[in-house]
Amino acid sequence: MDKNLKSKIKLNKVIICILILIVIVVLIVLGTNKLTKAGSLEHNNISNFGMVTYGDDYVFYLKQENGIVKIKDKKEYQITEGAAYSLNYKDEYVYYMTTGNGGSILINRIKQNGEDEEILATITSPMTKMYLEDNYLYYATTNPNTISRMDLNGENQEIIITRTISDFEVEKGIVYFTDESGYLYKISVNSEDYGEIGDKILAKKFQILGNYAYYFSEDNDSLMRIDLEGKSEEVVSDKLNCNIFNVTNKSIYYLDKDSLTICSININGGNPKEIVKINTENTKLNVYDDILYYVNSDGVSYKTYRIKTNGKETEQIKY
């Protein structure tokens, strides 16, 4: 075989191998981004009432008393009516909590086209909060006081731990929770590896991102974080003055309750910015891509608004 031809064949093989490697790297990066998007970022929305989630084709959000709406290309379609909280999405279904009779809470699901709505469970709970991870729904109950889980079809309910819970979050096979005193613990979803994080760390409400639990400390009047092994605790920012915040990969969004302003800082507490003034302390902050969803009062009722995270293009969601 001609030497030049052999060289060309070898060169082509090298180019093909390089292209294959590039494709593999791109797929890994996309997969990692998808996992990040489906993990703590959405979970920290759930810590803020779970007003927003996202599916394969749509963003779903709570339109207050008007129920769940899906949006794509600025076109909206209503799929439920009434109250809905703790929105989660998987495989064409939106899972959510709503109010039932006698103070009960219903765990429901509905197809993203608005069909096949069904009640999966009726519970009593100290909080309207639910996480979807690895084909399970995790939720807190009272009478008895537990953190429990069930299959996505509402079957095989089981208790993870029996304990009075102030707050909890599920992340990568671990349930993190605070007890009635506000001390932070963790336990695996198979009810093993139970233990306290830190030495009596008071973190009544918290959010997980990466290797840290973030929480507002009333003692320090600051946003704090502690690594999930409990080895180090540090101040993130003294700009925060309440428990209303949402931690994302790049920024932390929070309410300054003194000035009634939604603000942001970077993940390490620097570069504070004002985003938008509001009229109430009773807001919730949900983030999707570069859009911040928040609750504001018009003096008569509470409504959902959205704004770019850079503070531009304020828009009330139409009712």
Domain definitions of the chain by residue range: 239-319
Contact yes or no for 290/279 (Cβ under 8 A): no
The pLDDT, as a whole number, for residue 19 is 47
Which of 30-44, 49-63, 257-271, 273-287 has the lowest average pLDDT?
30-44
The whole-angstrom separation of Cα 197 and Cα 189 is 16
214 sits in which H/E element: strand 212-217
Q: Is the C-alpha dihedral spanning 151, 154, 156, 158 positive or negative?
A: positive
Looking up tokens 């889980």, which residue turns up?
Answer: 149
* Length of the chain measured in residues: 319
* 36 vs 14: CA distance, rounded Å: 33
Number of Cα atoms under 13 Å in the Cβ half of residue 187: 18
Q: What is the 3-state secondary structure (H, E, C) of 136-179?
A: EEEEEECCCCEEEEEECCCCCCEEEEECCEEEEEEECCEEEEEE
Q: In CATH, what number does 239-319 get?
A: 2.40.10
Chain Cα centroid distance, residue 237: 21
Q: What angle do CA 145, 64, 139 make, to 5 degrees?
A: 20
CA-CA distance, 47 to 169, in Å (whole number)?
8
Exposure of 182 by Cβ count < 10 A (0-12 exposed, 13-18 middle, 19+ buried)?
Answer: middle
8 Å CB contact between 125 and 118: no
Q: Record the pTM.
A: 0.85
Task: State residue 141's pLDDT score.
Answer: 96
Percentage of residues of the chain with pLDDT beyond 90: 71
Helices and strands: H and E segment counts in the chain: 2, 28
In which element (H, E) is residue 246 found? strand 245-247
Mean pLDDT across the chain: 87
The set of residues, in sequence order, having a beta carbon less than 8 Å from that of 288 and lying 6+ positions away, is: 45, 52, 54, 59
Question: In whole angstroms, how large is the CA radius of gyration of the chain?
Answer: 22
Q: Cα separation of 52 and 59, whole Å?
A: 7
- Locus of tokens 């830190």: 198
Q: Give the tokens for residue 176.
A: 């993190």
Convert the pLDDT of each residue in 220-238 to its tens digit: 999 999 999 999 999 999 9
Report the candidate in 267, 168, 135 with the shortest Cα–Cα distance to residue 211. 267
Six token digits for residue 109:
């699901």
Is residue 30 scored above 60 in pLDDT?
no
Query: What's the pLDDT tens digit per position in 110-163?
Result: 999 999 999 999 999 988 899 999 999 999 999 899 999 999 999 999 999 999
Instruction: Report DSSP letters for 83-106, one per residue.
Output: --EEEEEETTEEEEEEE-GGG-EE
